[in-house]
Amino acid sequence: MSVAARPIEAIIDLETYPVDKPGDPAYEALLVAGREALQAQALFSMPGFIRAPVVAEMAAELERLLPQSCRYDRPRSPWDYGNPEASWPGDHPRARKHPCAYNQVLNFQIGNESPLRQVYYWEPLAGFLRRLCGYDRFYRSECPHLALSSKIAAAGDTDGWHYDSNDVVFSILLQAPDAGGVFEYAPFIRSESDENYAAVAELFDDPGQNALRPAIAPGNLTVFKGDLSMHRVTPVEGDRRRIVALFCYDQKPGTFFSQAYIEELEQGLPNRS
Ligand SMILES: O=C(O)CCC(=O)C(=O)O
Ligand SMILES: [Fe+2]
């Protein structure tokens, strides 16, 4: 049996974000603003969604789990997620690999009474996110490893350029580093029918000119459509780690990540190699 959870309004700023009140004008206005942002920029970020003291608590919980977390550290192509790549000529953007290094705290490692899990399982939030994305159906992932997870990046760590394999990602930044660790992206740089390699090559060569860097502070809930929008997190600088929580939902019930991907992750668990 679970212990009584704290009231959700102690965790989420429901005065600013009344995600539990469909029909309320403030709810509908938030939905409209969010849909417009997603359509125009592939990203909608809600500052101060999680109350500051709880943000610090969530970050501390994840830092405590760091010794148990999985290490991922290898260069990756933005296209190779689950699809072994054909060979591409050396100067093609698709032939380029980007360093990727971070630790991941997995779903089963996060406590059942964690406020992070309370947010993930809070039904009104799932309903709001479903409407925001315009989906008829919306389910939490059932992946024991990745349904709810966190990426923790220390000095030098980075999440290389990639597309996401799912349509949309929900994240909460919990701790920002002193410098670096910036989320950069190119909204809708590709479409379903056009990879737009020329623009992708320009992005890789000069992200300073070609990427957006949205202001995302600890406590923001960010909704991001990463399937068509190339993105990365730049290397972290300094001792303070970047910590982000990631929530997985899907339009189909009962989703898991592929066993091959999970096995790859598990190789990064401590005492495995
Ligand atoms: O760390 C972030 O803000 C984004 C992470 C990301 O792009 C991913 O997990 O696919
Ligand atoms: Fe991503």
Ligand 1 site, residue 184, Cβ cutoff 6 A? no
Question: With contact defined as beta carbons under 8 Å apart, do 230 and 76 qualify?
Answer: no
Residue 172 Cβ inside 6 Å of ligand 1? The answer reads: no
Lowest mean pLDDT, pick from 17-21, 91-95, 127-131, 185-189:
91-95
Given ligand 1 and candidates 146, 158, 169, which is best to mutate, with the most ligand atoms within 8 Å of its CB? Answer: 169
Integer Cα distance of 270 and 273 in angstroms = 8
Distance of alpha carbon 181 from its chain centroid, rounded? Answer: 13
Residue 37 class from Cβ within 10 Å (0-12 exposed, 13-18 middle, 19+ buried)? middle
Ligand 1: nearest atom to the Cα of 232? 7
Q: What's the pLDDT at 81?
A: 56
Whether 157 is in the pocket of ligand 1, judged by its Cβ within 6 Å, is no
Atom of ligand 1 nearest to the CA of 231: 7
DSSP letters for the chain: -PPPPPPGGGTB-TTT--TT-TTSHHHHHHHHHHHHHHHHHSEEEETT-B-HHHHHHHHHHHHHHGGGSEEEE--B-TT-SSSPPPP--TTSGGG--B--EEEEE-GGGS-TT-HHHHHHT-HHHHHHHHHHHT-S--EE---TTTSEEEEEE-TT-BEEEE--SSS-EEEEEEE--SEE--EEEETT-S-SS---HHHHHHHHH-HHHH-B-----TT-EEEE--SSSEEEEPPEESSSPEEEEEE-EESSSS----HHHHHHHHTTSTT--
Instruction: With cut-offs at 50, 70 and 90, classify the pLDDT of residue 141.
Output: very high
Confidence (pLDDT) at 90: 80
CA of 13 to the centre of ligand 1 (A): 23
Q: How many CB atoms lie within 10 A of CB 106?
A: 22
Residue 151, number of CB atoms within 10 A of its CB: 21
Q: Using alpha carbons only, give the angle 197, 203, 205 rounded to the nearest 5 degrees.
A: 105
For residue 231 and ligand 1, the question of a CB distance below 6 A is answered with yes
Ligand number with the minimum distance to the CA of 172: 1
What tokens appear for 221 in the block? Answer: 């809930």
When pLDDT is cut at 50, 70 and 90, the band that residue 273 belongs to is: low
Is there an atom of ligand 1 within 6 Å of 244 CB? yes
- What pLDDT, in 10s, does the model give residues 197-241? 999 999 999 999 999 999 999 999 999 999 999 999 999 999 999
Least confident of 42-46, 97-101, 205-209, 261-265: 261-265
151 lines ligand 1 (CB under 6 A): yes
Is the entire prediction scored with pTM above 0.85? yes
Q: What value does the mean pLDDT take over residues 237-258?
A: 93
Indicate whether residue 232 lines ligand 1 (CB < 6 A): no
Q: Give me ligand 2 centre to Cα 185, in Å.
A: 10
pLDDT band at 264 (very low <50, low <70, confident <90, very high): confident
User: If you average pLDDT over residues 82-102, what whole number do you get?
Assistant: 82
Q: Which two tokens stand for residue 268?
A: 């990064």
Give yes or no for residue 230 CB within 6 A of ligand 1: no
Ligand 2 center to 227 CA (angstroms): 8
- What are the structural domain ranges in the chain? 8-266
Q: Are 101 and 156 in contact (CB under 8 A)?
A: yes
- Residue 261 amino acid letter: Y
Give the residues across from 183 on adjacent strands. Answer: 233
Question: Which range (81-85, 118-122, 202-206) has the least confidence?
Answer: 81-85
Query: Which among 184, 171, 219 is positioned nearest to 47, based on CA atoms?
Result: 219
Ligand nearest to the CA of 163: 2
Tell the CATH topology of 8-266.
Jelly Rolls (2.60.120)
